[in-house]
Structures are given as C-alpha cells and as structure tokens.
C-alpha cells in the first residue's frame, strides 16, 4: 500500500508539472532578435489520467484511514481491559494486605499473651519451689521431733518428762497439720501451673496456625499477582489456574512448604488419591500409619479391615496395608515407631524397611545392617528375612500350633507371639492383674516387657532421605 501511494503521488507531481503553461523562445526567420511567447496546455487524456490517479489516491487514503480506525478501536479495547485488570489487581492486593495486617496484629497479640503466660508460669514455679523448700524444712523438723518424742517415751523420765513429751507430741501434731496445709497449697499451685501450661500450649498452636495462614495469604497474593501480570502481557483477560499435582507422601508436602501437622490428601504413583495424617517435624514430613492413644477404637479386626484401614485420622486409626504398600512399595523408606508408658517416658525406634504386596501377605522386611539395639530387636530380629501380616481370620505367623493374632488380640507381623504387638487390646492404667490378660495388650518386650501394657504408640513412615537430614 505504501509503495502504491508513493508511485501515484510521484506520477501526479509529474502530471501537474507538465500541465502548467510553458514559455518557449523562438528566433525569427529573418534573424531578428524578437522573442515570441507561446503557451501550451496539457492534453485531455492527461487530465483524465490525473483525475483517475487522484481517485485511486483518495480510495487508498480512505482504506488506510478505515484500517487505522479499526486498529485504534482494538487498542482502545485492550487498554480498557488492561486498566480494568490493573484496577482489580490493586483492589485485591489492598484486600490481601489488609488481611495480612490483621493476621499480623492477631499474631502479635497472641505473642504478647504468650509472654504474659510465661511470666505467670515462671512466678508460679518459683512459688512452688519455695513451698517445696518449706515442705522439706518442716519434714526435717517433724522427723527430729518424732525422734525426740520416741526417745522420751522409751526412757525412764518422771512426770515432767512425760508432760514435756506430751507438749512435743502436740507440737508435732501441729506441724503435721501445717505440712498438710502446705501440701495442699503446693498441689493447688501445681494444678495452676498445669492449667497455665495447657493455655500456653493452646496459644502456641494458635500462633502457628496464624503464621501458616499469613504464609498462605502471601503465597496466594504472589500467585495472583504473577497470574495477573502474565495475563496483561499476553492480552488475555481471563485467568486460568492450572491444578497442582498431588504429592505422593507427607515428606513431599513438607518440601513444598507445608509445616502444619494435620490431614492432607496424597496420591502415590499408580494409585488413587486418599487422605492421611501428616506429622510435620523439623526434619521433614512423616506419614502416620498407626496411632493408639485412648482405646476408642477396637483393633481386634479381621483381614479385610486391616487391608483397607479403619478408625479416625484425627484419633486412633490403622491406615491400611494397601495404602501403606502404595506409598512404600518401591523401598527406600524408614519406619519410625514412638512409644510411651504410664509415667510418660518415651522411646523411639527407627528402622529401614520394605513392605511386600498382597501376594506376600504384606510381608515386612527390616533392612538394617549391623548390630541391632535392644529396642530394635523386638521387631527387627524376626523380620530380617520377612514377616507376613496375621489377623484373627488369617494365620500367617511362624508358630504352628497357635494363632498369635487370636491369642494376643489384634493384627500384627507376628513371629512366635512373643516380641511385640502394637495393635493389641488397650488397657487403662492400672492394667489387669491376670497375666494372660496383660499379654494381650500393647507391648514392646525389650522396652517395658511383654506384660506391660503401653500407654500410646504411633507408627510413621518417610523416605530414607529424612534420616540423612535429621
């Protein structure tokens, strides 16, 4: 178009130049110096060509103007979309910033309250220590008075000595009453300390929750900002968020930034998605496969229940052999077992393991090299070559004359019924007196013995890389 317009313009200039009158000088035939002026005009055909060229030029200019108008309308529409997107982005950023500030203020308030609770707790502990010191002092004085009274009663003193002994006995009784009062005060203080500690734990949980919400809000704001910028640059008004790929286990969720323990959805390779409880620690994310804590769930279940799983992920539960296998079927995983007794002593066992599929009866193989510790031997000794899982209705243990799952209650990787069973009956403290009942409980033989029913247990799995990090 530009070439055509330039050619027409040049041609018109030439025609216009030739159309104006031109003076020519001619000499007279007589040799005189007379000059004659003669005027010439353009031919009619040239005028037609000139008119036709002007018409084409006008049409070309009109088409060019029309195209320019269309381009201007497109630019105006895109500019409106851009302005609207920028305006919405600004409003959304302001809203997210306001929410972030509100969450920060709440977190700051909780931190202040936490500091106050810590100060009150420290004061209560100091008072408790003072009370305990007074209690020891009074106990020593009482012991000395009791020795003195015993000596007087055993001696041959007169009535005055007996009267003195009676007075000392009365003093000892008064001191005993004072000690009892002090004990009650100490017990009250310890209860207050416990309540303050519970409040402090709840405040810490709320603070961690708020911190997680702030972090998620910032991530959403950053994601929305980046999506809006890319949408404006590409000239597309609508935004489409691509779905995130589901993690294969809790440690992958931890690597993506999740730091709060709770229920999450995962999807191992070649498996349907399902929910698990993730225990997020400083060294990574653990997928919990079993929890015992209060006896609210009966673990004396049949094979199908142990294969599919049962219980509540927020309470007591067994995740299910199928799901455990789908997570750890490729090997390279660590089994982490946490135990506690009725005085709240804790024990932890970590063992590298591999779990077979249904065709092997979900055989458990412990793959640790080297010498086993006493704690590890309760499971690792018999599972070195693989132990199939046994239940009440599927006897796969190594004891030919006894069904260990039926005899001890609950499904487990039994060898000869005697080393461990974390899925047995849950006994509240104190445990039953009968020996045959106690051995049906939750036990780990090399820690508290076969006949000591444990208070709680939790089994978790994670990739072996977490062991190197921790």
* Distance set, CA 307 to CA 272, 324, 366, 383, 390 (Å): 15, 9, 20, 19, 11
For residue 358, report the phi and psi dihedrals to the nearest 5 degrees. Answer: -60, -35
Banded pLDDT at 134 (limits 50, 70, 90): confident
Residue with tokens 């207050």: 192
Q: Is the pLDDT confidence value at 388 over 80? A: yes
Between CA 326 and CA 156 the distance in angstroms is: 86
Q: Is the pLDDT confidence value at 310 over 70? A: yes
Q: What is the mean pLDDT of the chain?
A: 79
Between CA 159 and CA 157 the distance in angstroms is: 7
Contact 411, 389 (CB under 8 A): yes
pLDDT of residue 236: 36
The pLDDT tens digits for 164-189 are 555 656 766 777 777 777 777 777 77
Q: Which residues lie across from 286 on neighbouring strands?
A: 279
pLDDT of residue 7: 62
| Average of per-residue pLDDT across 353-380 | 91
| Average of per-residue pLDDT across 428-433 | 76
pLDDT of residue 204: 61
Structure tokens at 37: 């002026």
The pLDDT tens digits for 390-410 are 999 999 998 888 899 999 999
pLDDT of residue 94: 86
Q: Is the pLDDT confidence value at 35 over 80? A: no
The pLDDT tens digits for 212-267 are 667 666 666 666 666 655 554 554 333 333 335 789 999 999 999 899 999 999 99
Banded pLDDT at 24 (limits 50, 70, 90): very low
Q: Give the contacts of 68 (CB within 8 A, at least 6 positions apart).
A: none
Banded pLDDT at 84 (limits 50, 70, 90): confident
Closest-CA residue to 357 (of 380, 334, 331, 337): 331
pLDDT of residue 326: 96
Lowest mean pLDDT among 30-44, 105-119, 289-303: 30-44
Q: Is the pLDDT confidence value at 4 over 60? A: no
Banded pLDDT at 303 (limits 50, 70, 90): very high
Q: Is 295 left (phi over 0), alpha (psi -120 to 50) or beta?
A: left
* Distance set, CA 283 to CA 44, 45, 291, 458, 469 (Å): 98, 95, 20, 17, 6
Comparing 356 with 85, the larger pLDDT belongs to 356
């Amino acid at each position: 178009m530009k070439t055509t317009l330039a050619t027409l313009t040049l041609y018109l200039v030439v025609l216009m130049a030739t159309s104006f009158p031109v003076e020519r000088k001619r000499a007279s035939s007589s040799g005189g110096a007379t000059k004659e002026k003669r005027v010439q005009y353009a031919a009619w055909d040239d005028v037609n060509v000139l008119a036709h060229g002007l018409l084409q030029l006008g049409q070309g200019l009109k088409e060019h103007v029309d195209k320019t108008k269309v381009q201007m309308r497109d630019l105006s529409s895109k500019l409106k979309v851009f302005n609207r997107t920028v305006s919405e982005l600004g409003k959304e950023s302001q809203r997210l910033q306001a929410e972030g500030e509100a969450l920060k203020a709440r977190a700051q308030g909780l931190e202040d309250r936490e500091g106050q609770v810590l100060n009150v707790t420290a004061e209560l502990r100091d008072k408790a220590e003072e009370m305990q010191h007074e209690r020891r002092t009074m106990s020593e004085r009482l012991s000395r008075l009791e020795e003195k009274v015993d000596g007087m009663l055993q001696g041959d003193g007169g009535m005055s000595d007996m009267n003195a002994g009676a007075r000392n006995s009365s003093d000892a009784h008064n001191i005993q009453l004072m000690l009892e009062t002090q004990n009650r005060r100490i017990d009250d203080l310890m209860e207050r300390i416990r309540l303050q500690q519970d409040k402090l734990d709840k405040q810490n949980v709320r603070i961690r929750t708020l911190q997680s919400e702030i972090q998620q809000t910032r991530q959403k704001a950053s994601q929305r900002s980046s999506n809006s910028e890319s949408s404006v640059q590409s000239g597309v008004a609508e935004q489409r968020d691509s779905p995130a790929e589901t993690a294969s286990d809790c440690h992958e969720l931890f690597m993506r930034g999740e730091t709060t323990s709770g229920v999450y959805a995962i999807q191992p390779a070649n498996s349907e998605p399902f929910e698990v409880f993730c225990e997020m620690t400083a060294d990574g994310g653990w997928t919990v496969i079993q929890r015992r804590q209060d006896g609210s769930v009966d673990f004396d279940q049949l094979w199908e229940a142990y294969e599919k799983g049962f219980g509540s992920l927020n309470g007591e539960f067994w995740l299910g052999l199928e799901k455990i296998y789908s997570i750890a079927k490729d090997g390279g995983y660590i089994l982490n077992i946490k135990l506690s007794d009725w005085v709240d002593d804790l024990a932890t066992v970590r063992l590298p393991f591999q779990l077979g599929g249904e065709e092997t009866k979900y055989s458990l193989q412990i793959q640790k090299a080297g010498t086993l510790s006493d704690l590890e031997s309760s499971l690792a000794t018999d599972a070195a070559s693989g132990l199939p899982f046994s239940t009440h209705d599927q006897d796969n243990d190594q004891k030919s004359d006894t069904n260990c799952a039926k005899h001890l209650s609950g499904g487990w990787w039994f060898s000869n019924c005697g080393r461990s069973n974390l899925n047995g009956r849950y006994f509240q403290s104190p445990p039953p007196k009968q020996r045959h009942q106690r051995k049906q409980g939750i036990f780990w033989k090399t820690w508290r013995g076969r006949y000591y029913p444990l208070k709680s247990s939790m089994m978790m799995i994670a990739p072996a890389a977490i062991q190197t990090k921790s």
